[in-house]
Structure 1
Amino acid sequence: MQIGIYGSGTTASAAITIKKILDDAEIESFVITSKSKSRLVDCILVLGGDKGVRNYFHRSFDSTTPVLGISEGEASGFLAQIDLREFSSHVKILKKQNYTVEEVPRIGVKIDGKNVYPVLNDVAVFSSRSAMLMEHTLRVNDEEVWHDNSDGIIVSTPIGSSAYSMSAGGPMLFPDSGVFEIISVNSLDITRRPIIVSNTSSIQISDISARLHCEVVLDGLDRYKVTNTVECTQFLPPAKIIRLKKNSTAISALAKKVHLAEELLSMPPSSKLLLKTLEYEGALTQKDLANKTLLPDRTVRLALSHLLKKGYVKKESLN
């Protein structure tokens, strides 16, 4: 068995820990770097939690090799199912390949006719400045659905339905649903409601305009300027995610999303802002968080204390 270890943006110690555990189990492995030559492997271990898994698939169009996401924090996510601390207890299952592989749908994206990387969660189109209306036309399979004035529009996969789209009023979807959802964010027309379409549909957002330029946000990470049109279609093949745990059914994933939503609703706004900032930016110091969020130092300190107590974040020593 041959395993690749991918850890872009993560600490080198985590990759070393993983490799030692695999060596002890007599499993051949190597750390993937930008200079690594293409090699056939049985699976790829991706460090960095959900964000790490998204980054991996953004950089790799190869979906033939299944990926096991590993979180380095206190809790696992939806794409990264296990934590670094518990990895050693799952090595035998990995070695015997006694696991299931879930096919996670992706959205292929074209911005003004140019292909960009496919996304796992969502495609969001907004004005470059918040609280400024954006005008657009939505077409599905070449038929006009609406012409709208709103804060923006989101196209989401089932995995992404528990992220940005949920906070904008979209429904939570079962992970194995063969659909995408479309949400108009704070439309001036109160009849606008989330739309569910087949994942084989062609979704076109055109005639995009605002007082300033508009942007496309992919998986909450990268921003691209858009002049007129964004096209969203199913990207094949889907991403392949390894599931080692038996309780990773669609129903248990949905229950986890409901629990997460309840916790987020009860969380102080400052804690939500810090959590979202850390999710998008990765590890930051307290000073960095204050600079990026523009919150007072005392507010940042209290919010961090709350997140640490709840286990949403962890401290890391600076070497």
Structure 2
Amino acid sequence: MRVALWGVDSRDGALLSKMKKTLESLGVRSQIMKDDYKAAAEVDMVLVAGGDKGILNYFHKVQAASAPVLGIYETDSTGFLAQLEVRDLEPATRRLKRGEYEVDEVTRLKVTVDGREVEPALNDVAVFPGKSATLMEHVLKIDGKDIWHDQSDGVIISTPTGSTAYTMSAGGPMVLQKSQVFLIVSVNSLDNTRRPLVVPSSARIEIADITSRYHCEVVLDGGRRVRVKNLLECVRHEHPARLVRMAGDPAASLMAKKVHLAEDMLKMPPSAKLILKTLEYEGALSQKELASRTMLPERTVRLSLSHLLDGGYVKKKTSLRDARQRIYELKI
């Protein structure tokens, strides 16, 4: 069995070295993947450090075919897509060597902004004005045909995997991962009859004639932002993401975890919801980092964290990288 190891950034260096040592002690050949990503198609499996953020970043960088990917998370990372905590790597490796796992093929979105292809998305692609609480006009086209002309806060295009992320918070339906569809949700449309749209994954989706008082941005998986002048195009990517799922894993399914979170979010103030979604996308963050990411006042962040801690939605821990710093992560 040959394994490649990949981390989000240089901070994962120590973790990757630890993983490599564990694998080799069990007779598994491993290598730390370089920036050329050639090993992605040459090994039997890729282990990605950095939790869900690592998984998303990996499939942004690797656009060609890749060996199946297993996400590894530390105790200060989220684990919706990433299935394995680093402390369980040794027993899990024995199971992997025996072939006790399955591979799910997950649809990605191929994204083109104003005629220029950008990184693919695994969860969702959103278009919003650069300034919040500002209306954006757009025309939705499916396979070249006009579907609607809308004014709203923005629009989200989601894969089935992303249906339990940002799209669900905006009122979209939850879709099983193997469904061959995309979802389109207009966020806070002025037309209160506007409903989420489900289209075949073979469709070509265009958000055209984008206008607003401020510049607009395409947001990939809640992270990278690309300025858009007029046109966003999305189609199914030719290379799906291949994710390893441990056979017989007793952990709650991704859908069940997200349903539980969604039900609880109905009772939360908007600022607390925003912080939860930020922690889901970004992983564990300090109070200062949350204020920077959400652009909420520090007092609002502090009060929202207190509410989330009291409700058992997040937990506070000491950072593994700086013992003086307290960080917050999802507790589901």
Give TM-score, length-normalised by structure 1: 0.89
Residue 107 of structure 2 contacts residue 237 of structure 2 at CA under 8 Å; is this kept in 1?
yes
Contact kept? 1:4, 1:31, Cα under 8 Å: yes
Q: 1:160 to 1:314 in 2, by over 3 A?
A: farther
Of all paired residues, the percent bearing the same amino acid is 47
Deviates further, 225-234 or 77-86: 77-86
> Is the 8 Å Cα contact of residues 76 and 319 (structure 2) preserved in structure 1?
no
| Secondary structure of residue in 1 paired with 2:190 | coil
- Please name the residue that 1:81 is paired with: 83
1:7 aligned onto 2:22: no
Q: How many residues align?
A: 318
Matched, 1:316 2:309: no
Change (3 A) 1:109 1:260: same
Could you say which residue in structure 1 is the equivalent of 2:19? 18
1:22 and 1:216 mapped to 2: Cα distance? 39
CA distance in 2, matches of 1:199, 1:168: 20
Any stretches of 5+ residues in structure 1 without a counterpart?
none
Counterpart code for 2:263 = E
1:221 aligns with 2:220: no
Query: Following TM superposition, by how much is the alpha carbon of 1:232 offset from its aligned partner in structure 2, in angstroms?
Result: 0.7
Deviates more, 1:285-294 or 1:144-153: 285-294
Q: Give distance in 2, aligned partners of 1:119 and 1:187.
A: 24
Secondary structure, aligned partner of 1:191: coil
User: What per-residue deviation string (whole Å, max 9, x for no partner) do you get for residues 16-75 of structure 1?
Assistant: 221222122111112223377647211100011111001001011133311101121367
- Structure 1 residues 75 and 60, CA gap change in structure 2 (3 angstroms): closer
1:173–1:247 distance in 2 versus 1, CA, 3 Å: farther
Letter in 2 for 1:29: S
Question: Which residue does 1:148 correspond to in 2?
Answer: 150
Paired amino acid for 1:315: T
> Mapping of 1:160-171 within 5 angstroms?
160-171=162-173
1:91 matched residue in structure 2: 93
Task: Map residues 122-271 of structure 1 onto 2, 5 A cutoff.
Answer: 122-247=124-249, 252-267=253-268, 269-271=270-272
- CA displacement at 1:85 relative to structure 2: 2.0
2:128 and 2:218 in contact (8 A); partners too: yes
CA shift, 1:139, in A, is 0.8
1:29 matched to 2:30: yes
C-alpha displacement at 1:258, in angstroms? 0.9
Select the residue among 299, 302, 322 that pairs with 1:300: 302
Deviation at 1:189, TM superposition (A): 0.9
Q: Deviations over 1:259-280 (max 9, x none)?
A: 1212333456554443434445
Instruction: Provide the rounded CA distance (Å) in 2 between the counterparts of 1:267 and 1:209.
Output: 32
Q: Secondary structure at the match of 2:80?
A: coil
Q: Is the 8 A contact 2:7 2:48 kept in 1?
A: yes
Whole-Å separation in 2 of the counterparts to 1:8 and 1:163: 21
Q: Is the 8 A contact 1:128 1:214 kept in 2?
A: yes
Q: Which amino acid aligns with 1:4?
A: A
CA contact (8 A) 1:46 1:52 kept: yes
1:117 is displaced (CA, Å) by 1.2
| Structure 1 position 133, deviation (Å) | 0.8
Cα distance in 2 between the residues matched to 1:14 and 1:304: 31
Partner in structure 2 of residue 71 of structure 1: 73
**Cα distance in structure 2, aligned partners of 1:54 and 1:139:** 27
Contact 2:77 2:283 in 1 (8 A): no
The question of whether the paired residues in 2 share the 8 Å contact of 1:270 and 1:300 is answered with: no
Normalising by structure 2, we get a TM-score of 0.86
In angstroms, what is the RMSD of aligned CA positions?
Answer: 2.7
Query: Residue 75 of structure 1 contacts residue 312 of structure 1 at CA under 8 Å; is this kept in 2?
Result: no
